[in-house]
Amino acid sequence: MNKMNIYMKTIIILVSALIIALLISNFSGEKLVRVGLQKQLFVDDYVIAEKEDITRELGKPRKVGVVMKSSVPTDFHSTKKFPAGLPGIGYRTTVLWNEQREIFQMLYRASNEALTAYAESKDGLNWTKPFIADDGKSNLITYRGKTKGTFYEASFTIDPIAPWGHPEKYKAVFNPGDPWDSEAAIAHSSDGIHWKGYNKGEPVTGRAADTHNQILWGPIGKRYLLLTRTDLGSQGGKGEDRATRIMAHEKGNDLLSYPKAWKTLTTVTVDDPKGRKTIWRCGTSNGSYDSLDL
């Protein structure tokens, strides 16, 4: 009988200890983060349970200064004479790595905000500007949107789910040129150079798009994401309050059939520096969207 009592007491103690451990794990500290196969930036130990015989070495970037200067006629304004090109040249730049051709590809603003130019490089340091325009006389992207006929504020991405050579392998978002309505339009390309507009080149969103817009593939939610500027207050003046809006495509990622099927998931406002609204940028890192699980 005594042995039975001891046995029962032992079981009760073990079960009680297990319950207490579970309660402690649920109510003390943060829950475990399930990362699966998602890419992680290992800048600290936040998602690491334990480590042994391993050290972390962060990459050490090397600053090399200017790698591409104004050099072709369309880099220079026709009337505003600046020796190094118009001060705004290079705004809204996108640089992508083409793993098939093993080159970097760049879109950048040329001598006019309505002009988007193309450049490429094998090493990211030495750039060429091939004359890819339809007339063969410049490195300007020939395609224009339909509103005012510009490829303004354009950025582009290489779609990871489309095969190389596919007509929609590259995707771009841009402002087709109306400075007041400022609505976003999107386009597609097989090579990042020759473009065709979704929605017949017409805008696919409401206002606004007068900043560096982004179109990306969201690997977590498996859907296309569109990021543009938006207005939270009035348009212009003291009441103006600009923010970033993050939108997701709602029709099975079929941008050809449903180019306007975008739903706003959230808006993000960042005040920087203190007490001053940030009004110009809408930047992202490919795969990072303001820490949102999209």
Distance of alpha carbon 51 from the chain centroid: 32
pTM confidence score: 0.76
Between 7 and 293, the more confident residue is 7
Domain spanning 73-268: CATH 2.115.10.20 = yes
Name the residue ranges covered by the structural domains of the chain. Answer: 73-268
With cut-offs at 50, 70 and 90, classify the pLDDT of residue 183.
confident
Q: Locate 99 and state its tokens.
A: 């793993």
With cut-offs at 50, 70 and 90, classify the pLDDT of residue 280.
low
- Let me know: does 108 contact 89? Beta carbons within 8 Å: yes
pLDDT value at residue 172: 94
* Cis-peptide, bond into residue 203, ω within 30° of zero: no
- How far is it, in rounded angstroms, from Cα 157 to Cα 268? 22
Round the average pLDDT of the chain to a whole number and report it.
79
Between 114 and 292, the more confident residue is 114
What is the 8-class DSSP label of residue 145? -
Between 110 and 239, the more confident residue is 110
Taking only the tens place, the pLDDT of each residue in 117-166 is 999 999 999 999 999 999 999 999 988 776 666 787 788 999 999 999 99
pLDDT value at residue 157: 95
Instruction: Calculate what percentage of the chain has a pLDDT beyond 90.
Output: 35
- Measured torsion, CA atoms of residues 273, 174, 265, 288, in degrees rounded to the nearest 10: -60
Environment class of 91 (CB within 10 Å of its CB; exposed 0-12, middle 13-18, buried 19+): middle
3-state secondary structure of 218: strand
pLDDT value at residue 107: 92
Return phi, psi of residue 153, to 5°. Answer: 60, 25
**pLDDT above 90 for 96:** yes
Q: Locate 250 and state its tokens.
A: 């709602």
Q: Which residue, 246, 169, 182, is CA-closest to 214?
A: 246
Residue 4's CB is within 10 A of a number of other CB atoms, namely 8
